[in-house]
Structure formats: C-alpha cells, structure tokens
Chains A and B, each alone.
Chain A
Amino acid sequence: MKLKTNSYIVIIVLFLLGAVMPLVLRRYNLFMLTEIIIFALYAVSYNLLLGYAGLLSFGHAMFFGLGAFVAAVSIIHIPGLTLLSAVIISLVITTITGFLIGGLLLRHKGAYFALLTMAFNALFYAVATKWHSVTGGDDGLSISRPEMDLGFASLSVSSVSSFYYLILIVVGASIVFCWYFTHTAMGKTVLLMRENEERMKFLGYNTNISRLILFTFTGAIAGLAGAFYTLHFQFVSISAISIDMTTAVLLMVFVGGTRTFWGPILGAFVYIIFQNYLSDITDRWPLFMGLIFVFMVLYVPGGLSQTIVSIRQWFSGRTGTQDNGPAKAEET
C-alpha cells in the first residue's frame, strides 16, 4: 500500500514539474521535451511487450507508423476534423490491426515471433512506400495541426507551449494508465506467463488470449504515440513506419533498462537528447548510438535504470538482491 502511495506522489510531482517547464525552458527545449514525452509512451508500450511479457518484437514501428499515417491521412481527407477525433480514429484502427496481427502471431514465441513481426513491419513499410496516392510515398505528408474541440469551446494548440501542455496531460495520462495496467490482474498475468507459462496453463489460464490482449493493447498505445508524433512534427514520412523506428525504440528501451517501468522513459529521455546534440556535432551520430547500444547490452544489461537502482541500494546499504522482473522494481 505504502509503495503505491509513494508512486502516486512521484507521479503528481512529475506532472507539477512538467507543468512549470514552459516557464523555465526555452521554446527549443520545450519542443524537445514534447518529443521526449511522446517517445516515452512509445518506449513504455514496447517495454510492456519486451520487459513484461518477454516478447521480442521487431515490428513495433508498424503500429507507431500506422497511427502516424492514419492521423495524417484522416486530417487531410476529412475536413474540419478535430485533433482528438483524429487521435481516436488512429487509436481505433491500430487497435483493430493489433488484434488481427496478434491473432496470427499469438501461437509463436521467441525467434519466430521476432521474425514474423519483422516481416509484418516490412509489409507495412512496402505499402507505405508504394501507395503513393494515400501515403505520399517518399514525399511524406504534411499536415497542419487541427484545433482541439472541447465541446464547449475550441482551443488552439498551434503554439509550442500549448501543444506541450496537451501532450503532458494526454500522453502523460496514457503513460500512467500503462503503469496502472501493470498492476491490474491482467498485468500480473502477463508477468507470470513470462515466468512460467506451463504452470499458468495448468492453473486454467488461456495464455494465448492474454498474449493477444497484451499485443493489441501495446499496439494501440504505440499507435497513439504515432498519432501524437504526426501532430507534433505536423509531418509524417515513411521513416515513421520503417525498421529504423523499431531500432530506435529498442535502443531507448535497452538504454533505459527493461526491468523497471520507468527505465524506458529514462531511455527515451537520453535517446532524444543524444540524438539532438550528437546530430548537431556529427553526421555520424547513429554510429555513436550503436556503440552505446553495444556497450549497454554487453556491460549493463539492466540499462540505466538498473544502474540507478544498484547505486541507490549501495547507498542505502542494502544487499543488492537482483530484481528479476519489473513487478518488484517499482520502488520509485
């Protein structure tokens, strides 16, 4: 119980801290922070698959990109569409797609699962590239951000700070929702399934259905992040649905650490900041990102979050019992 209260305090403090950021940060940094929050949601959704369920997917970008493209296409083709309706359309379509693809994949695990997700991603990428009349092909799609319609008033979110607040509230709430999800019975089932699927089956759980629900859920969340990505940059191109986008989220999650819920958020933070500053300094920034990735996987498999947890344990003098699952590592 105490654990949960503490978590709530941290969440509230983070939101408050986020709320004062526009007063402290310059426009450029605020723009970057908005991007970080969006990618944090994407990374969290990926970690629900990788860290919690132990499913390595190489195709998460298909949901992210699909969400991004659906948002752009619907804004372009449906006149007068409000911002939230565009997001909801994306969410619905990615959920359905997640369900259909999940249905085809749910019997596969390990390498087969990874390769099949990669194949699906390649399929989506090919469609996005070739279907020029809808997706713009190599040219991509430019949109202008629609207004928010709150029912009683419409709100302009064209400025950097007002859009930031929207993202902080909506995407922030989605991240909290994901965190809450891990504490529900369904979330726990996923964890147990990773640990010992045979036993779960003997206990009478249909693990295939649990996996399908999880896959659909994470797909929908990634699609949501994708839709906000489009709204943020007001532009989407085939990069959003390419394998690069999957690699990006893999990097974020590995750098941040898969063993905690907040690891991927930290990873997104580090990744975006690195990407922005490294690409200012050198054109070879993917090389450095790659080196960091290799280093992390070889020497710090638990990621940054693991390092922080270890340091904290070292300071508080506790013997470092290694956590073996996100469920136990939510002490923050």
Chain B
Amino acid sequence: MKRSIIKSLCFLSAVLILSLPLYAAAADTIKIGATEPLSGTFKDIGERYLDGVVYAAKVINAKGGLLGKKVEVVPIDSELKPDVATRKAQNLIMKDDVRFFCGGTGSSVGAAMSQLAERENVIMYTYGMAAATMTGAKCNRNFFRPCANTDQQSYALAELIARKGYGKVAIIAQDYSFGQEALAAFKKKLAQANPSAKIVAELYHPAGTKDYAPYISQIIAAKPDVIFTPNWGNDLTILLKQGRPMGMSQKIFSYYINDEVTIQALGDDSLMIGNMGAEVYTLSIPTKKNEEFVASFYKDMGYYPTWLRGKAYVATMFWAEAVKKAGTTDVDAVIKAWEGLTYDGPAGLWTMRACDHQAQMPLWYTEIVAKTKFFDHAFEAPAGMAEAKDVSVPCAETGCIMKKK
C-alpha cells in the first residue's frame, strides 16, 4: 500500500512538472493580442481584421519598431464566444505579461474583454465592435474605440439622406439590440437634419430571415424615396436578392455596403449599383495619405486593404501613436497619452475623446458603381466625407461616467 501511495505521488509530481511550460522571456517585443473569430462562420471577417493588425505591426517594425522594440501580434481565436476570448486573454496576461488587446468582431466579446481589461489593468481597443453602449453606459478607462459606433454610422447616413433631399424614407432592421439601436439613432438624426423628412415604413424582422416577401411588399406599398438598413451578412444579401426582382428599386443606404465579399457573393452587380454606405475607412478615400497606404499595401500583399483591413490598420497605427507619445508600455501612461490624442492617418484626422474613449473622426460615404480601378465587379466610387462634428454624439448624451484612477 505504501508503494502505491509513493507511486501515485510520483505520478502527480510528474504531471505537475510536465504542466510547467517552457519559459521563454521575450522582453524586447511589445505584444498585442488580437481577439478574432479565426474558426467557424465568421472566420473570413476575423481573418481580414487580423490581416490589418498584422500589416500595421509590419509597417511599424519596418520603421524600427515601437520605442525600439518589435511589435508582435498574437492571434487569439475567440470563436466569437466571450468566455473563450477572455479565458485566452487572461492566460496571455499571466503567462506573457501581454498588456494590449484588440478585436473587431462581436460586441459580446468586446464587452467581456472590456471588463477583463479594467480588472487586469490592460488596454483593449476595438476597430469594429460597434455597440454604442461600450463607450456609453458600460464605458471604462481601459477600453478604447478607434472606430465608429452605431450612433455615428447612423448619423452619417441620416445626414447624407437629409443633404440629398430625400423626403420619404423606409427603414428596416434586424430585431435585436444592434438593429434597434441603429434605427433609433437614425431617426433621431434625420429629425434634426431634415425635420420635414418622413419615415414611411419602419420594419423589424428576426435576424436570419429567409423570406422577405412580406417586408418587401410593405416597403413597396409605402413608396419611399430611399431605404435605410443596418442589415449585414445574409440579411443584407437576401433582402437585395428578393427585393430587386419584386420591384423594390430604391437606393439602399446601409452600414456595410462596401464589403467586397458581399458584392462577390451576390454575383449580380445590378443589385448593388447605386447603393450607398458610410464607414470610417473605405478603399476609395481620395486623400494622398490613403492613396500611398493603398499602393504600398498592394505592393506588399498583392491585394487591397478593403474596409476591414483598413479599419484594423488605422486603429492599430493610432494605438502605436499613443504608445509612442507615452514613451513607455506602462498601461496607465498609455491611457493618459491616448486621451485627447490626435492622429492624422489615411482616413483623415482622428481624435480620441477623453470623456468616453470614443474616437471622433470623419465618416466616408460612398456609392457603389459598376466600374472601379480596384475590382472587376462593382465597387465603391471615390468617397465623400461626413465631417466629424456632424456625426458626433455629445459627451453628455453617451451615458458614460468615466471612473478616474
């Protein structure tokens, strides 16, 4: 019996020893953990975002790195599950002392990462998680959003519709928090920008609807001038595919119209031509800085930095500016340096607002046209700019109470 005790203890200690990882200290790099869905349904989105971050790191490293150190991107497959993302991030914090995290897909992942960042005092920034509450009621000092939120995007499109003088608007969205928030912000801004404009139809459908016929006939019956929708993925493509043949011929204003994968998946350019979208980054921004960026990206990678890649790139360069200004990777110093910082990049002048850590930037609206220099299929025409002040939500209206440390 004694021997059996000794043996089991031997076994136990063997397991423990095996569980000690090989420790490799790498103090000469600055690590960023990028939480993206790298497997499953949204793999394609996650990979394109990650691509942008990796390219930003490459550009920084080619110029001698950040504070003399190399930037290393650690991909974290979030599987689009908040518990998986936080668990892996927690491990990286404890194992490798990673202090910076970013991500673009899934506001649920972002909300959980934001809380983790506050608890562990690391920085999380997002270039794609759009739920307004993350820099609103749920804001905290360790979370930054160098990209637009649903409010800003809706504001930009409402502003655009008002400016173009459309009087009757139909709006349709997925029936969950994202869709509802987007429409609420849109209605608010449209009423300010063009008080005479009328919402002739306001429709909500379950996310993942297959048959749009009832919604489309309601839209057609309401005879709008234009249609606004924050739909994305299949909910956007099916709406177009079923709606156009039924006679829903109005221009569509949408958040995510400039996705080359969606346009390719539609397989019929005529469904898309004429539609308009607004984003913080589009390939067709007609500034010199952007043209240089697009050209060098194309030279290095052999393809274009379309919206997701561009957004992730610009946001990561913005973060690098903050670290550079802080002169250290100390989290508190970087937070302080980033607040109020201005970055003049490919997508115009971006300012990180201190009151809610929501970047203020112009939005770029663009129309889908048949011929562009980028792709064989229809894509975005040169973009126009909606100024930062026109799409901004005042600090007092965000609901954010930023705790000071």
Contacts and interface: CB of A to CB of B under 8 A. Distances in A.
Interface stretch (B90-98, B159-167, B183-191, B277-285): B90-98
A162 interface: no
A265 to B, nearest CB: 10
Nearest to B80: A138
B205 interface: no
A150 to B, nearest CB: 24
Interface in B72-127: 77, 81-84, 86-88, 90-91, 94-95, 107-108, 111-112, 115-116, 119
Interface stretch (A49-57, A180-188, A219-227, A235-243): A235-243
A276 B91 contact: yes
Interface string A258-279: 0000000000010001001101
Contact of A316 (B3, B19, B23, B88): B3
30 contacts: A13-B5, A14-B12, A17-B9, A25-B16, A26-B20, A26-B23, A26-B94, A29-B19, A29-B20, A29-B21, A31-B90, A32-B91, A138-B108, A140-B82, A140-B108, A140-B112, A142-B112, A144-B119, A160-B94, A233-B86, A234-B119, A235-B112, A269-B15, A277-B21, A279-B77, A283-B39, A308-B11, A316-B3, A331-B1, A331-B4
A25 B20 CA distance: 8
Interface string A133-156: 000001110101000000000000
B132 interface: no
A235 B86 contact: yes
Interface residues of A, number: 39
Contacts of B81: 237, 239
A6 to B, nearest CB: 5
Contacts of B107: 139
A9 B90 CA distance: 35
Contacts of B5: 6, 9-10, 13, 332
Given A140-B83, A237-B112, A279-B88, A2 B19 contact: no
A312 B1 contact: no
A308 B94 CA distance: 33
Contacts of A279: 77, 88
Given A240-B83, A276-B91, A312 B112 contact: no
Contacts of A26: 20, 23, 94-95
A76 to B, nearest CB: 12
Contact of B82 (A31, A139, A234): A139
Contact of B111 (A6, A142, A233, A331): A142
Q: Which 3 A-B pairs have the closest CB atoms?
A: A142-B115, A28-B94, A139-B108
A139 B112 contact: yes
A77 interface: no
Nearest to A270: B15
A199 interface: no
Most buried by A among B19, B77, B94, B107: B19
A236 B38 CA distance: 22
Nearest to A24: B16
B7 interface: yes
A27 interface: yes
Contacts of B95: 26, 28
A332 B83 contact: no
B41 interface: no
Contacts of A6: 1, 4-5
A160 B93 CA distance: 13
Contacts of B21: 28-29, 277
A284 interface: yes
Nearest to A139: B108
Contact of B39 (A32, A160, A284): A284
Given A28-B91, A283-B39, A239 B83 contact: yes
Q: How large is the interface on B (under 10, 10 to 19, 20 to 34, 35 or more residues)?
A: 35 or more
Interface in B1-47: 1, 3-5, 7-9, 11-12, 15-16, 18-21, 23, 38-39
A29 B23 CA distance: 12
Contacts of B38: 283
B83 A236 contact: yes
Given A26-B94, A273-B19, 17 more contacts: A10-B5, A17-B12, A28-B91, A31-B91, A31-B94, A138-B108, A139-B107, A142-B112, A233-B83, A235-B83, A235-B115, A237-B82, A237-B112, A239-B81, A240-B83, A279-B88, A283-B77
A6 B111 CA distance: 49
Contacts of B23: 26
Interface in A79-103: none
A69 B81 CA distance: 16
Nearest to A140: B82
Nearest to B115: A142
Interface string A284-317: 1000000000000000000000001000100010
A316 B6 CA distance: 13
Contacts of A14: 12
A135 to B, nearest CB: 12
Nearest to A237: B83
Nearest to A276: B91
B328 to A, nearest CB: 22
Interface string B256-294: 000000000000000000000000000000000000000
Contacts of B112: 139-140, 142, 235, 237
Interface in A1-56: 2, 6, 9-10, 13-14, 17, 25-29, 31-32
A277 B108 CA distance: 25
A284 to B, nearest CB: 7
Contacts of A144: 119
A138 B105 CA distance: 13
B39 A312 contact: no
Contacts of A235: 82-83, 86, 112, 115-116
Nearest to B88: A279
B91 A10 contact: no
A332 B77 contact: no
Contacts of A140: 82-83, 108, 112
B378 to A, nearest CB: 33
A22 B3 CA distance: 27
Interface in A179-197: none
A277 B91 CA distance: 11
Contact of A332 (B8, B39, B86): B8
